[in-house]
A and B are shown apart, each in its own frame.
Chain A
Amino acid sequence: EVQLLESGGGLVQPGGSLRLSCAASGFTFNKYDMSWVRQAPGKGLEWVSLISGPGDATYYDDSVKGRFTISRDDSKNALYLQMNNLRAEDTAVYYCANRGGLTGSLSFDYWGQGTLVTVSS
């Protein structure tokens, strides 16, 4: 059974930093692209960042470029998101998502339950 378990969310002040983690199991982690998708309270889904299966390519939405860094540790089946210089508009549930693990396509096939990040003073 595929499992994605996010952790690391919490309350942080504007300008602060937070590191999210996602522990993956049930599939060959190093084969697949992994991504972070967020959802502000009461709002829709917003893609944040993606890292390729080999880890040699990373992509970011413009809203987080230069502030967030995605990384992975295939030896630990883990995905990370380092978030710096956080803003109130970064407040959201952050989901870890696997790309293609079920379909072999480029859709987000598996999702974690999410971790809530609140940026407030």
Chain B
Amino acid sequence: VMTQSPVTLPVSPGERATLSCRASRSVRYYLAWYQQKPGQPPRLVIYDTSTRATGIPARFSGSGSGTEFTLTISSLQSEDFGVYYCQQYNNWPLTFGGGTNIEIK
């Protein structure tokens, strides 16, 4: 089970956002983060805990290992608002967290 917190995160543009993801058992470093906006499919942001996907700006960073993971957006831009999901791919079944909705404060 993947547990994300907080469920909702109000953030002002330019502020830092920190999202957490906890696994019920170790997933080593096999964790990804996805961004989803309304009416769109998810988009890969971070894979293997800390590697940015192609085209993802440097303000996005990921960290952690084992059971505790963090996605940090250093200075939130308007295009960063949306729901973020973590997903582990170390164990079967593959599982997603419940999501964190970053909304405009």
Contacts and interface: CB of A to CB of B under 8 A. Distances in A.
A97 B20 CA distance: 24
Given A107-B32, A107-B44, A109-B44, A50 B98 contact: no
Instruction: Name the residue among B30, B41, B44, B89 with the largest chain A CB count within 10 angstroms.
Output: B41
B43 interface: yes
A47 B96 contact: yes
Contacts, number: 65
Contacts of B42: 45, 95, 108, 111
B53 interface: yes
Contact of A44 (B48, B92, B98): B98
Please provide the 4 A-B residue pairs with the shortest distance between their CB atoms, ordered closest to farther: A111-B41, A107-B47, A107-B32, A47-B94
Band of interface residues on B: 20 to 34
Interface of A: 35, 37, 44-47, 50, 59-62, 95, 102-103, 105-109, 111-114
Given A45-B42, A45-B96, A47-B95, A109 B34 contact: no
Interface in B15-53: 30, 32, 34, 36, 41-44, 47-48, 51, 53
26 contacts: A44-B85, A45-B34, A45-B85, A45-B87, A59-B92, A59-B93, A95-B41, A95-B42, A102-B44, A102-B53, A102-B54, A103-B44, A103-B48, A105-B47, A107-B32, A107-B47, A107-B48, A107-B53, A107-B87, A107-B89, A108-B32, A108-B34, A108-B87, A109-B44, A109-B47, A113-B41
A105 B93 contact: no
B42 to A, nearest CB: 6
